[in-house]
Every structure is written in C-alpha cells, then in structure tokens.
Structure 1
Amino acid sequence: MKFFEPDTIDEAVSLLNEHEEARCISGGATLVAMMNADLVDMPALVSLRRITGLAGIAADKDGLRIGGMTTHNTIANDPQLAGGWSVLRRAAGQIAHPGVRTMGTIGGSISHADPAADYLGALVAADARVEIAGADGVRQVPATDFFVDYYTTDVEDGELVTAVLLPAAPAGAVGIHRKFARADGDFATASISLVLALSGDVCTHLRIAVGGCGATPINVPEAEQLLVGQPLDKQRIAEAGKLLSAACDPIDDVRGSAEYRLLLVPRLLQQALDMATDEINAGAAA
C-alpha cells in the first residue's frame, strides 16, 4: 500500500485522481478499524493531516464553518456551537468514547455515512451543507442530498469533504440530539435530532431528523408542519411521531429489531421536544 501526505487540498485531489481506489484518511477512527478487520483493501491512502485550514471552527457572515478535519472532541466542547447549532455539539459528545472523539473527525465520520452514526441526523436538523473539493473545484451539497444510501454519499471518486457549513440558526433556538443505544458509546438503535424555536408556547421553527431507522437520515416535512404554528401538546407530538415512524425503513440487527426501532421513534421525539422546551424556558427565565 502506498501512503501519501499532501500539503494542500489540490495535491490531495490530484493524488486521489491519480491513484484509482485511493482513500482519504483523516483521524482514522473508522478506516483503521475496518482495515484491521480486513473489511476494506485499497492500493493507496491519502492522509489529510498536513493540510492547513482543514481543521477548526470559525464564524462568518453566513453562519459557521467546521473544517472536515475538526475532531469530535473539539466540536463537543466549542462554545460557538450554541443555540440551534448545539445539535452538532451534543451529537459529537455522544460519539463512542474519549479516545475516538480525540482522534475521529467530522469529515471522516460523515464520509463513512454509517446510518446509525450521530452526526448524520444532526446535520439534517441543522440544515447543514457539506463542502466537497474535486478536480472541477469546490461544490456544496445540502445534508439531505449528501447521504445517498447505506454507507454511500454524494462524494464522487477523486473528491473529498473539506467542511461542514451551518447557516444561522433561528433566534432563541436550541438543538437536541436524543439517542437510544445499548450502552454509552454504542451506535444508536434509533435517534432524534432536532432544532426548535418557540414564541411563548407556540412552535415557530422545527427541523427533525431520525437516525438509525433507514439507509439515510429521515426527515418528514409533514411532521414538522403539524407542529409549527401550534402549541406543542402531546396529542400533536404523538401524531408527528406516527408520521416519522411511517417514513422509517429500519432493519433487524444486534442493536434492536425493526419493530422495536419503530416504537422508539415517537418516544424519542417526545423526549427531545421536552428537553428542548425545558431548555428554552429555562433560558427565558434566567
């Protein structure tokens, strides 16, 4: 196997296009484990660690930019990820264990696109866009279009993820990532990521994504529309939960049966909305 350490994004892209089936490696939290288990075999690895500007979190006029090489630990502890953006911070804080969070990166995680991973639904709930660099330049893809199928993204051969871009969140919004897992650090059996804003007791903004219950994060606009413009009473939330469950296509695996996952979704939605409402009300009372 050949190993390359380019200094720039352009060099990395050139190497990916020059060496067929080459893979990028960032933190290596996922890829190295797969290599050790003989699940993947590639002729070349392109390390991104020497490329300046790929790590870090910075605000700009459009929102927040998270470099693809930014570690989970950095995201979990950055105070800029407040308000609606906190859905990403909370997702990052629930990934695996401290060692993985120290090494693993957001670009590597979303490129792997495990449907039970924490970031996927959080990106959809935050209306994030993914920045991708390739031989033809840089393009941006909405998170809803970035995740295509099981372990499959919109990244094409010869391209790499360079950043996650978060738009400005609604004023007063909060972000919640509520996940059910067999144990701390495990992948989700099912999860709900959401961004909520209220005016009094009336929902003014809501974006929901279900994780772990299909090939990609599941967003159902009809479920959101049922709650926006209304007080968040349990009956409406239960109806929205049914719509979310109906859109899911879960599998049976060691983390739970498909039937069990479908039962979890409405309960996780209620819990996540309760958590978000409590946080908003606590902030208003402070």
Structure 2
Amino acid sequence: MKARAFAYARPRTLQEAHAAFADAEGDASYISGGQSLVPALAMRLQAPQVLIDLGGIAELRGVGLEGGVLRIGALTRHAETLTDPLIRAHAPLLTAAAPFVAHPAIRNRGTVGGSVALADPASEFPAMMLAMGAEMEISGPEGLRRVPADEYFQDLYQTAIEPGEILVALHVPAAGPNHVCAFEEMARRRGDYAMVGGGILAERAGDALVSIRIALFSVGPTPVRARSAEAALIGQVLDAGTIAAAQGALEADIDPLDDEEVPAAMRRHLARVLLGRLLRKLEIAG
C-alpha cells in the first residue's frame, strides 16, 4: 500500500508548527525521524491531510548541561545517544540502552523525542526516561510546560501530550559519581521487540543503596516503575538475599497481559530473571 495524498509543511519555529496544525483544523500529523509514522502512513493506519515536518525547528535540537540537568533536544537521533559526550557522561543509562534499539539504519534516522512521544510500551527510551526521572518539555499554543515522567505515560500509546502539542526536549537529572546504572533486555533476536526489558538508576552511599529507580518495558500498556522492588532495596546492601527479596516484591509491580507469543506467566518469570541480572550488574559496578 501507499500513503494517501497529503499536504506538506516544514515550519522553522514552534509557533509556525502550531499555526500549521491549527490551519489543518487538527487533521495533521507531526513527523521527526518518521520511523514509526512512515510505516503507519504506508499502511493507511494514519491519513492526515497535512504532514508537518519538525526537522527545521532549531529549538528541538541540541544537547546541553545546565544546573545539574541535561537537556536533550527532541530531534536528537538514537545514534547520537551512543556518541554524544554529555549524554555518555551524564545520562549513561540512555547510552547503555541505545545499542538495543532496533538496527543501525533505524538508529541513524529515529529520534529520541519521537520514541518518547509515541510511547510504545515495548520501546527502550520511554522506559529509560522513567528510570532516570526525566521531565518532558512540551510546547502548545499557550506556551511551554513540563511533565514528570511518572505522570507522562498514561495508557497504551497515550501520554500527557495533548493534540497539537509538540515534545520539545527531555530534561534528565545528571548522574553523579555515586550513581550506578544497568540495562538489560530479553529478545528472541537482537533488534526484535523485547519480551521484557528494563533499566535501573541507583545512588550509593558506601555499600548501601540510598535511592533507586527501576523501570521495565514490555510488561504492560506503559513503561512500569517497579516501586515495590525499589522499596525492598532502599537502604540495603546488594547481595543474594536482597536481590531475591526484590525479585519477590516485583510480583506486585507488574500485571502483564497474555498474548499469543509470550503468555503472562512467562513474562512475569522473565521479568524476575531480568531484575536479578540488572541487580547483579549493579553489584558488580559497586
């Protein structure tokens, strides 16, 4: 199949983008890297009257560090998270996840903002934003606002972004010298959607964990914070006993659905195994 005919706009500012969306009376789609939207257009799952290309908007580009917060422009390519020195130094969990995102051709075109805006529950970057405690900077006709990751992901492919709004940047608290992180996913083949995956960002004081955020993906309609498992680890030293306790607590955090490829019981089991691997990585990193 081929996409239906559409008009094309390439605004230079956020204001022009919002104006183009308003002129289309809402029958428009924004595009950045296009790795998800273009197949949807080709299969006519989406058929907007106007396609608004965000690639010319300078405000959506760049990576910078200010006041202990790393700002990652929404148009940052997946591949850049592997090479950008600021991301590698201050958001290492994002760099750890990046090699698992699809394949090189997709990483060279896809954008971090596009992935987070789509919020595919099986994608790596949305869950890592949750693990890192990021804030999403969103632009609308009334101006800019920020939404914490814990409030941003609402339901299957549903986020706090309202129709016509644009994800501008991701604001990530910079990791410090006492932070450790780990990423892991299980897929049948490298580049396939993961059966289960997750990332951890934790802070140590001596040998004990003083803070920890665990985010899992492919275990529900949104990325999931494993809050019960986190609570079992706060103030603890990582060893076989605390890892087992966190794995047991994980049962209260996830409620995966059955599907034809991976039954819910199997996904729960894989999530426990994955959490153990992640925590052992942290143990070694310490």
Give TM-score, length-normalised by structure 2: 0.93
Answer whether contact 2:82 2:88 (CA < 8 A) is retained.
Answer: no
* 1:210 Cα deviation after fit: 1.3
The aligned counterpart of 1:283 is none
| Residue of structure 2 aligned with 1:53, choices 42, 59, 62 | 59
Q: Percent identity?
A: 35
The aligned counterpart of 1:284 is none
Report SS of the residue matched to 1:230.
Answer: coil
Matches within 5 A, 1:1-286: 1-19=6-24, 20-82=26-88, 85-253=91-259, 255-280=261-286
Report SS of the residue matched to 2:197.
Answer: strand
Q: Report the Cα distance in structure 2 between the residues aligned to 1:247 and 1:241, rounded to whole angstroms.
A: 10
Q: Which amino acid aligns with 1:130?
A: M
**RMSD between aligned residues:** 1.6
Report SS of the residue matched to 2:60.
Answer: coil
Give the 4+ runs in structure 1 shifted more than 4 A: none
* 1:254 Cα deviation after fit: 5.3
Answer whether contact 2:61 2:76 (CA < 8 A) is retained.
Answer: yes
Q: Report the Cα distance in structure 1 between the residues aligned to 2:266 and 2:78, rounded to whole angstroms.
A: 29
* 1:47 Cα deviation after fit: 0.3
Gap regions ≥5 residues in structure 2:
1-5
Report SS of the residue matched to 2:147.
Answer: strand
Q: Which amino acid aligns with 2:9?
A: F
Q: Report the Cα distance in structure 2 between the residues aligned to 1:97 and 1:212, rounded to whole angstroms.
A: 18
Q: Deviations over 1:69-115 (max 9, x none)?
A: 00000012222224662111122221000000000001111111110
Q: For the structure 1 residues 177 and 28, does the alpha-carbon distance in structure 2 shift closer, same or farther, using more than 3 Å as the test?
A: same
Q: Which amino acid aligns with 1:8?
A: T
Give TM-score, length-normalised by structure 1: 0.93
Q: Deviations over 1:152-211 (max 9, x none)?
A: 111001101000000133432122221111111111111121102223322122111111
